[in-house]
Amino acid sequence: MLELVIGGILFACFAYTGMGIRAYYRRRKELFKQYAGYLDYLQEDIGFLKTPLAESTGEYCKGKKGDFIKILLTYKKMLEEGRLDREDFDKMLSSPYIDKRQKREMESVFYGLGKVDSDTQLENLRKARAAAEAPMNFYKQKYDTTGILAFKLGVVLGIAAMILAA
Amino acid sequence: MLDKLLTESIYNAVFARVREQDITELRLRAGKPVSYACGGKYHSLPDCPVTAEDIERVIGMATGHSVYAVNDSIARGYIVCGKGYRIGICGEGVMKNGRLFTIKNVTSLCIRIPHEVKGCCEKLQNILENIGNTLIISPPGLGKTTMLRECARELSSRYNVLVLDERGELIPVHEGIMQVETGDMCDVACNIPKITAYATLVRTMRPDIIITDEVFGAEEVRSILDISRCGVYVFASLHAAGINDIFSDETYSPLCKVMRYFVVLGAIGKVSAIYDRGRRNA
């Protein structure tokens, strides 16, 4: 009986670790997908309606969830309060799913938003969108390979451990 | 609004001395002391010099940190925010294709604070009851816009009033909602070039009265003559010291043919004379 319980616990541990790794890659993938989506949305909104950033950001976030949406909601609040120093952006983009280099790039994109005329702004957004393509694809691929693999491996190892324990 | 626009140091320095509702204008010049207008007089605060960050803060907050959204307005030298706060901008012009494209390195701001003064049209009751084309005349800063706003409020409870508000300060609109009290029959065309609005909205909105601020240039005078011919009444304002300035001016004298009333302001919110068809009434 005890062996069965230990086997079950081991299975749960391995499977949970696998799920955790998969979730990590999924959240990274989602974050960059939403980041790219946001840049697309801004290009349309600024190009056509010239909607101010806070309004545009609020609209984009409506009905969406995720780590990047949390970042955007913080950004919206910062816009409304006029807190837009480098340190504020640094804090805003502190996330385990964004590494240092990407954080620097995103920081400069956010810092530059709204400071120029619409033509220059659209050009800057186009460049930022092009730069977002690489991490978006990279993390999608990472999720499809490493993330899924880690989950499967976790389940298999869990079953193996359960058998061994039994 | 001003608590959001201004940095804490400037806000505290100014409003430790004066109440927000008493102030009509606030001037920020980089490296110079803040000054404000209250009761028609300017006061300076030597202990409160303005920094570039203070100016940047005002522009950021006034534009919603979205310069692209108001660049056309910046190129015309101002930004309008909140309930009709008009911020005049002075700095370094950037030209593109031979026209002013934007203003950078802003050095001075002139923040004009709008006021709703209900009852400021008391002296115009006769005009509001026997309506006719009306021109409100005064030098800048004496309350023409406030008076027109009040006319719009009074008239739009009885007539279809179309307010042509190119600069968004007469009847400020935020996200489609008028920010000052108006009658039930008021339509506002904001941020639309006036000449375009005259040509299109008279047909599409079919107003009884058009109210517009600061008539400027021959083209607009021609539009007003056209509108009057169509049977739509016009209430407008014009920068001038007195009625003679208009009669003697080549550009604006054609207005005298169609305007019935001339209201001259002599001090802030004070009507010094009203002319009915050239004859002085008050």
Under 8 Å between Cβ of B113 and B25:
yes
Note down pLDDT in tens along chain A; length 166 residues: 778 888 888 888 888 898 888 888 899 999 999 999 999 999 999 888 889 999 999 999 999 999 999 999 999 999 998 888 888 999 999 988 998 999 999 999 999 999 888 888 999 999 999 999 988 999 899 888 888 888 888 888 888 888 887 7
Q: What is the pLDDT of residue B140?
A: 84
Amino acid at A111: Y
Amino acid at A37: G
pLDDT score for B99: 85
C-alpha span between B65 and A56 (Å, rounded)? 12
A81: nearest CA partner in chain B: B4
Q: What are the strands of the beta sheet with B41-49, ordered from one edge?
A: B41-49, B33-38, B23-29, B99-112, B85-96, B78-81
Q: Please give the Cα distance from B210 to B163 (Å, whole number).
A: 6
Distance from CA of A46 to the nearest CA of B (A): 8
| 3-state SS string for B29-47 | EECCEEEEEECCEEEEEEE
CB B78 within 8 A of CB B161: no
Position B282 scores a pLDDT of 58
Q: φ, ψ for residue A52 (rounded to 5)? A: -60, 155
State the pairing for strand pair B209-212/B270-276: unpaired
Distance from CA of B79 to the nearest CA of A (A): 14
String of DSSP letters for B128-144: HHS---EEEEESTTSSH
Residue numbers in chain B where pLDDT is lower than 70:
278, 280-282
Closest-CA distance of chain A to residue B11, Å: 15
pTM value is: 0.74
B175 contacts in chain A (CB < 8 Å)? 55
Q: Would you put residue B32 in left (φ > 0), alpha (ψ -120 to 50) or beta? A: beta
The one-letter code for the residue type at B29 is R
* Interchain contact, A84 vs B4, CB within 8 Å: no
Nearest CA in chain A to B59: A115
Phi and psi of B44, rounded to 5°?
A: -115, 150
Residues of chain B found within 8 Å of residue A82, distances taken between Cβ atoms: 4, 57, 60-61, 65
Residues of B in contact with A51 (CB under 8 A): 66, 69
CATH code of domain B122-280: 3.40.50.300
* Cβ within 8 Å, pair B66-A117: no
Angstrom distance (rounded) from CA B75 to CA B95: 9
Q: What are the domain boundaries of chain B? A: 2-112, 122-280
Is B23 strand, coil or helix? strand
Q: Are A124 and A110 in contact (CB under 8 A)?
A: no
Report the distance separating Cα B162 and Cα B165, nearest Å.
9
Question: Closest approach of chain B CAs to the CA of A38, in angstroms?
Answer: 16
CATH class of B2-112: alpha beta
Strands (E) located in B141-267: 161-165, 173-174, 177-178, 186-190, 209-212, 233-239, 261-267
Q: Are B109 and B25 in contact (CB under 8 A)?
A: no
Q: Do B4 and A52 touch (CB under 8 A)?
A: no
Domain spans in chain A, listed from the N-terminal domain onward: 2-165
pLDDT for residue B281: 65
Task: Look up residue B160 and give its DSSP letter.
Answer: -
ipTM reported for the complex, 2 dp: 0.78
